Structure 1
Amino acid sequence: MAGTLSHDDVDRLLANPSAKSRAATAAKVAAGFDRGELSASERRLAEDILRSLARDAEVSVREALAAHLKGNPDLPRDVAQRLAADVDSVALPLLQFSDVLAEQDLVAIVLEGRRNRQLAIAGRAHVPESVSDALIDNGDETVVARLIDNEGAIIAEPAYERALSIHGRAGSVGDSLARRSDLPASVAARMIAAVAEQLQDYLIRRASLSPDAATDLILQARERALVDLVGTRTIGDEAELERLVDQLSRAGRLSPWLVLRTLCFGDLTFFEASLARLARVSLANARILIHDEGQLGLTSICRRAGLPERLLPAFRTALLVRLETDYDGSGNDRRRFVERMLERLLTVGEDAATLEPADREFLARKLTQMAA
């Protein structure tokens, strides 16, 4: 059978002691093993020779073995483990490509703290959650950035939080987090706050702005970023949405104006979760109250949530517009939606319960800025 192990190969391996000969034989053994064309007896013989070659004193022999077997799913696990514990030139191909290595094998190697090996594991096509946890807790910023850039890595929300806490000030990690397609919204909100604080310090120190002016500018930018985050996020489930709302609330950023502006941009689910959090009722109960056909339910939960009485007409109108209208999917969609929302908000009745002129002006200005 062409390319597979033969008795001549075995005899040559035993007779010729040179490293070059052994490396060539290792490559042939590995190539034949990789094609899966061996009979049962040939496979047993091949596995025995692989084990022998994996202990060969010459690095070139073990390198040839690793290069040819790194992607073989039938490689005996004990051989994969031995090669993965070898010198870098032998180990790294196995660490990055071999599916034979188990999660516990990879975690153990990560815990050894050898950077090159951590980098190889961080770049695997599939990185299990437990391995990602170990890399974030034990790797440096380069390792963590490579892991986060790897869309094949499964990273739990608490691990993202730790990555941000440990390495958040490292530009490479921050950039990787910003690019991550499934970054939890709560982590993105923390990043917005951290960047805003750094930018505020810069504006005060380098741009000759007063602390008050810098603070006002940063608050505007941060709130717009939060509205954008809420409006464009991909929330995997209600639990993640509630975590985001809870985080904003604990940080003191779940303001009535933020809740109103996100609703004005059409985000109904964030509005529901926000009122549930502020009123301290379940999300299911909040939805029943919000969508009550009369005004009693919405008014009651808004008051319980501590929303200013003068803003209740705006919340009612914005909710009504949102339920009647949605984005149409064409160009400048967001701007047209906000224009429709503004038209209704600014032309509600003139009785005492409507928006005060200052509030109308403030809301119109903010929505116009954010829709730009």
Structure 2
Amino acid sequence: MADPSPDVRAETTSKIAAQYDRKFPRMTEAERKLAEEIFRRMARDAEVLVREALAANLKATPDLPRDLAVALAKDVDSVSLPVLKYSEVLTDDDLIEILRSENAAAKQVAIAQRPTVSTAVADALIDTGNETAVARLVANEGAELTEAALGRVMTEYTGSEAVAESMARRPSLPATISEHLVSAMAKKLESYLVSKHDLPADAAANLILQTRERATVSLLSRGAQGADLEELVFQIHVNGRLTPTLIIRALCVGDIAFFEAAMARLANVPMKNAKKLIHDGGDLGLRSIYEKARMPERLFSAVRAAVQICGEGEYDGGRNDRERFVARIIERLLTQFEDPASKMTQDDIDYLMNKLRQLAA
């Protein structure tokens, strides 16, 4: 009262706020009620410095009255941002209302960085068109992002390097989103190689194709199964990326499930029928679906050998088991090619061995 300056009011606010915590009670209930009225007065203080002190000290208080938390969250950025980022008192409806308010760019970024972000708030953030906020949202491991939400991000923020980088760094992504991201990055890299390094377009395209297929096979190893795997295969197919080399690359590292789904998609047969044809115990079923899928004839021997090896057992779990699996396939093929009955020309053998070396690389 002797010195009612903004600095003193801010200091007083900080001191009272420091005592206001139910976890470490230092006030009686009556004193707490009085403190809350003081906070409400300070929240209307004309001096921003006072309101900043209030927000900084109460931002993570779990039992702060909601009306006070909302008032601070709607204040100028220097007051609102700490509360928006940390307060557990604010509801999803409160946050969504603030996200949709005018001149809320900084507030949107703060909300995107909350320890947890619900699916409803995440969807509202994506709607804002705020590239920085969406990049922070995607990078936030505490954000509940559905596959549909991630798909929207990939579609609506396709030109944003910040969003793409955050997406790539996210520790867990659905296989369909990962594949889409791999393809998008591959296109950018191909353009860069041609424009910056004078690499012929055909050479760049071939290099990127191999790199993209390796990346796709790598993400398949994370275990997409059932409907998720079929959805992934469908996405790859409709985008023109379900190539024979990708299918054989996956098969030659032991991913029989992807091979089955790919054959079913390309041959346009139900999955259960595709499995029966592939594993019917002879060549007729496999050859039938292989031809219906319009796969290259010169690679059929490799496919048959890989299917047989896959049927003999899983990986042994040892070091470099994928590399050893590919080596077994090459060894098996070399043995088969020595048989005159294989009916493969030297050109076919050279072509196939070149492809298998690429797979093993």
Q: TM-score range by the shorter chain?
A: 0.7 to 0.9
Structure 1 residue 339: Cα displacement = 0.4
- CA-to-partner distance for each residue in 1:6-36, whole Å, 9 max, x for gaps? xxxxxx7xx8744334323322332222244
Residue 224 (structure 1) aligned with residue 214 (structure 2): yes
- CA-to-partner distance for each residue in 1:280-305, whole Å, 9 max, x for gaps? 34445544554445556545544443
Q: Equivalences for 1:1-372 in 2 at 5 Å?
A: 17-36=4-23, 37=25, 38-112=27-101, 114-231=104-221, 233=222, 235=224, 238-293=226-281, 298-308=286-296, 311-348=299-336, 350=339, 357-372=346-361
Structure 1 residue 275: Cα displacement = 2.4
Identify the residue that residue 3 of structure 1 maps to in structure 2: none
Structure 1 residue 316: Cα displacement = 3.1
Q: Cα 1:359–1:174, aligned 2, differ >3 Å: closer, same or farther?
A: farther
- SS of the aligned residue for 1:34 comes to coil
Overall identity of the aligned pairs, in %: 50
Structure 1 residue 92: Cα displacement = 0.6
Query: Which structure 2 residue ranges, 5 or more long, are not aligned?
Result: none
How many residue pairs get aligned? The number is 357
Structure 1 residue 94: Cα displacement = 0.7
**Range with greater deviation from structure 2 (294-303 or 124-133):** 294-303
Structure 1 residue 366: Cα displacement = 2.6
Structure 1 residue 165: Cα displacement = 3.1
TM-score in terms of structure 1 length: 0.83
- SS of the aligned residue for 1:118 comes to helix
- CA-to-partner distance for each residue in 1:120-139, whole Å, 9 max, x for gaps? 11211112222222323324
- CA-to-partner distance for each residue in 1:123-180, whole Å, 9 max, x for gaps? 1111222222232332433322222222112222233233233333333222222222
- SS of the aligned residue for 1:346 comes to helix
TM-score in terms of structure 2 length: 0.85
Q: 2:249 touches 2:359 (CA, 8 Å); kept in 1?
A: no
Q: Cα 1:324–1:206, aligned 2, differ >3 Å: closer, same or farther?
A: same
Inter-partner Cα distance in structure 2 for 1:20 and 1:193: 56
Inter-partner Cα distance in structure 2 for 1:183 and 1:116: 27
Inter-partner Cα distance in structure 1 for 2:196 and 2:7: 63
Inter-partner Cα distance in structure 1 for 2:147 and 2:344: 40
**Range with greater deviation from structure 2 (157-166 or 120-129):** 157-166
Inter-partner Cα distance in structure 1 for 2:209 and 2:234: 20
Structure 1 residue 307: Cα displacement = 3.4
Please report the RMSD computed on the Cα atoms of aligned residues, expressed in angstroms: 2.9
